[in-house]
Amino acid sequence: MLHALIAAAGEPIEYGKAAGRAIALGFGAGGGAAGAGAGIGAVFNASIQSKTRQPELRAEVERDQWLGFALTEATFFYGLVGGFIAFFL
């Protein structure tokens, strides 16, 4: 049964490589998105808390919040770029 399947697949090594690439892209993008999602949530959580506690610091907190947002968001792209490198190279 298994032999018949492998024979039907033609080039099992090629298919395995393609599957590995697809897995790498999915894992890179998915893992990066999960991590960045948790991180961005933490950033906005802290920002909202400090803004409600000390509304007079709103401007400063918001500036730092956007800095933290952009730095955290970038980690998603590190995962994505790693996935792309595995997928296309």
- Residues in contact with other proteins by the rule CB under 8 A: 66-67, 69-71, 73-74, 77-78, 80-81, 88
Residue 27 or 69 with smaller CB distance to other proteins: 69
Nearby residues of 16 by Cβ (< 8 Å), 6 or more positions away = none
How many other CB atoms are there within 10 angstroms of residue 57's CB atom?
12
Structure tokens at 32: 């990066």
- Smallest distance from other proteins to CB 50, Å: 18
Q: Quick one: 34 or 74, whose CB is closer to other proteins? A: 74
Minimum gap (Å) between residue 3 Cβ and other proteins: 29
If residue 15 lies in a helix (H) or strand (E), which one and from where to where?
helix 12-53
